[in-house]
């Protein structure tokens, strides 16, 4: 039995007249009668009471009508739902740590949207460690952070090492200097962020002091980068920011580079190890394009 038999049968059962059903189906009446006969032969019993005017269904015919209608609707649903699969929007979510928002992240997101206009892109702020969990749970597809981590299910790509800068109150004697060292900051109150959760960018800075045999005199915790800069503007201390934070220029604060090239913060991209989708490949490629365009030093990894 073919779907065609069902459509023809339902048309005749609806019209209760073979001639009108044939007109509705745009086929010749003898051809329609043959198809109904074929169906009855296949089932081995009559579906219509012969000679009745208008045509009446037999008991088997009524049973067949109910179920044939369901089958036809299911087949229509199958066709439309399958066609829709190609149209369903893909989703892509990037997790990021706040400080990346002041640098290249907006450009990365803009280019990704341009390259994949049909993809529903979302951005979610979260710590590097939250990104690892979210990647494993499948709630994000790529994470951008600064804290190194190890997880067998996560692929970590070091995108670049971003230089660090000191943020100093504009009226502080250190603001007179063109460049600074971490040692210069030791007598000052060092404002660290984010406050929680740890390990975070704050620990990266403390480690940089420690690696050089130094320790900041006094530390104060701030919730995030913007708050930290606000405290610097208020003369409460000094802080260390990634260079991309230069976009956050504010009155009362000056930024000074360090005279040591190795004072950097990693920019890390995290992905699920098994994920080599066109989206993650394209994301990495467009980040490298931006670096090349902007002359940003980096080492490229391949998939």
Q: Is 105 in the site for ligand BEZ (CB under 6 A)?
A: yes
User: x-or-dash pattern for ligand BEZ, window 111-150, by CB under 6 A?
Assistant: ---------------------------------x------
Q: Around Cβ 112, how many Cβ atoms within 10 Å?
A: 19
DSSP designation for 100: G
> Which of 36, 100, 140, 165 touches ligand BEZ (CB under 6 A)?
100
Smallest gap, in angstroms, from Cβ of residue 76 to ligand BEZ? 45
Which is nearer to ligand BEZ, 43 or 157 (by Cβ)?
157
C-alpha to C-alpha distances, 2 to 9, 42, 65, 177, nearest whole angstrom: 11, 11, 15, 87
C-alpha to C-alpha distances, 119 to 91, 137, 278, nearest whole angstrom: 5, 20, 12
Smallest gap, in angstroms, from Cβ of residue 81 to ligand BEZ? 37
Q: Is 159 in the site for ligand BEZ (CB under 6 A)?
A: yes
Give the C-alpha separation, 203 to 45, whole Å.
83
Q: Is 244 in the site for ligand BEZ (CB under 6 A)?
A: yes
If you write DSSP's letter for every residue of 230-264 in order, what string do you get? HHHHTTS-EEEEEGGGGGG--TTEEEEEBS-TT-E
Give the C-alpha separation, 22 to 36, whole Å.
11
User: x-or-dash pattern for ligand BEZ, window 163-192, by CB under 6 A?
Assistant: ------------------------------
Q: Is 265 in the site for ligand BEZ (CB under 6 A)?
A: no
User: Is 224 within 8 Å of 193 (Cβ atoms)?
Assistant: yes
Smallest gap, in angstroms, from Cβ of residue 200 to ligand BEZ? 17
Output the CA torsion sign for 264, 257, 203, 250: negative
Smallest gap, in angstroms, from Cβ of residue 72 to ligand BEZ? 52
Give the C-alpha separation, 264 to 73, whole Å.
63
Stretch that binds ligand BEZ, among 96-104, 145-153, 172-180, 219-227 (CB under 6 A): 96-104
User: x-or-dash pattern for ligand BEZ, window 15-54, by CB under 6 A?
Assistant: ----------------------------------------
Strand bridging mode 91-96 / 142-145: parallel
Which is nearer to ligand BEZ, 22 or 284 (by Cβ)?
284
Binding site residues, ligand BEZ, CB under 6 A: 100, 103-105, 108, 144, 159-160, 244, 267, 287
């Amino acid at each position: 039995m073919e779907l065609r038999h069902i459509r023809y049968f339902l048309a005749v059962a609806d019209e209760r007249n073979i001639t009108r059903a044939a007109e509705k189906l745009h086929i010749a009446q003898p051809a329609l009668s043959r198809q109904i006969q074929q169906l009855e032969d296949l089932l081995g019993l009559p579906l219509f009471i012969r000679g009745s005017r208008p045509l009446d269904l037999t008991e088997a015919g009524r049973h067949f009508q109910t179920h044939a209608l369901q089958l036809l609707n299911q087949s229509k649903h199958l066709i439309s739902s399958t066609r829709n699969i190609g149209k369903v929007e893909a989703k892509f979510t990037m997790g990021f740590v706040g400080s990346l928002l002041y640098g290249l992240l907006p450009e990365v997101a803009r280019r990704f949207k341009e390259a994949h206009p049909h993809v529903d892109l979302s951005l979610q702020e979260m710590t590097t460690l939250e990104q690892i969990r979210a990647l494993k749970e499948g709630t994000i597809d790529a994470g951008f952070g600064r804290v190194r981590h190890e997880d067998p299910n996560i692929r970590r790509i070091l995108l670049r090492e971003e230089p660090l800068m000191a943020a100093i109150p504009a009226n502080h004697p250190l603001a007179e200097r063109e460049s600074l060292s971490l040692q210069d900051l030791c007598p000052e109150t060092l404002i660290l962020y984010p406050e929680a959760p740890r390990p975070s960018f704050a620990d990266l800075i403390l480690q940089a002091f420690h690696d050089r045999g130094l320790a900041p005199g006094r530390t104060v915790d701030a919730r995030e980068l913007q708050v930290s800069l606000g405290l610097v503007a208020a003369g409460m201390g000094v802080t260390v920011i990634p260079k991309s934070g230069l976009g956050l220029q504010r009155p009362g604060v000056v930024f000074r580079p360090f005279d040591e090239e190795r004072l950097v913060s990693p920019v890390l991209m995290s992905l699920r190890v098994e994920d080599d989708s066109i989206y993650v490949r394209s994301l990495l490629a467009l980040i490298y394009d931006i670096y090349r365009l902007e002359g940003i030093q980096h080492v490229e990894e391949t998939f």
